[in-house]
Amino acid sequence: MQRYTIRRILQQTYLSDQQTHRCLLSAFPSALLGGPRAAAGQRSKSSLPDVRERTLIAVKPDGVQRRLVGQVIQRFEQRGFKLVGLKMLQVSEDLLSQHYCELRTKPFYPRLLHYMTSGPVVAMVWEGHKVVQASRAMVGHTNPAEAQAGTVRGDFSFHVSRNVVHASDSLEGAQREIQLWFKGKELLNWDCCDQSSTCDV
Ligand code: DAT
Ligand code: MG
């Protein structure tokens, strides 16, 4: 009888953990989190468990106007990251108010909205090992005056109100922003033929 009760408790605990896990996962469609392998909880062939981490990178209107899109893409390609989503769009104030929800009360927010809606933006999703952290380093300090040479902002801009590019600042932020900017079907899962040189270390 006791053994039966313990088994029931264990079964219930296990089931409720599974349900919680499923519920948490369902909040983030698999395509946005990192493709089918990640969703299925399988490790890729790589010895690195998180090569399918994703982040949102956007070339802002000043970057598009100055024809810097190619240079931004080139830096991410050279680093070995994989492009899984790309589109050019005129961003709406509604999307921006969600994207920059933490900045809505800042005095510069109206100018930020004006700047971000002044022309097209090129939004991208890049995938790879620690891509969120690496891309923040590649993009550089928010204020280009403090950004190091070699970073996108350090090389191409000098004022915080015209800092060329956006990069998600955390894993959670990246997941939220990718869902905001892209539909699941706009992101592609594909295998790079050079994966063994860039990821399988
Ligand atoms: P980041 O873009 O580096 O993540 P953030 O999230 O703090 O920086 O701010 C979002 C954008 O808002 C930033 O890229 C440019 C603009 N911004 C931030 N601080 C500003 C300021 N003091 N004056 C004008 N624009 C600012
Ligand atoms: Mg930010």
- Domain CATH number, residue 109: 3.30.70.141
Indicate the pTM of the whole model: 0.80
Q: Is residue 167 part of a domain?
A: yes
State the residue range of the domain holding 98: 54-184
pLDDT band, very low/low/confident/very high, at 194 (cuts 50, 70, 90): confident
Mutate which of 142, 152, 172 for ligand 1 pocket (most atoms within 8 A of beta carbon): 142
Residue 23 shares a structural domain with residue 60: no
Mean pLDDT of 95-117: 98
Structural domains in the chain (count): 2
Residue 131 shares a structural domain with residue 85: yes
Q: Do residues 91 and 35 lie in contact, with contact meaning Cβ atoms separated by under 8 Å?
A: no
Q: Is residue 189 part of a domain?
A: no
**Is the CB of 65 within 6 Å of ligand 1?**
no
pLDDT band, very low/low/confident/very high, at 187 (cuts 50, 70, 90): very high
Q: Is residue 38 part of a domain?
A: no
Residue 92 shares a structural domain with residue 175: yes
**Is the CB of 170 within 6 Å of ligand 1?**
no
Cα dihedral across residues 104, 108, 111, 115: positive or negative: negative
Q: Do residues 125 and 73 lie in contact, with contact meaning Cβ atoms separated by under 8 Å?
A: no
More confident residue, 2 or 40: 2
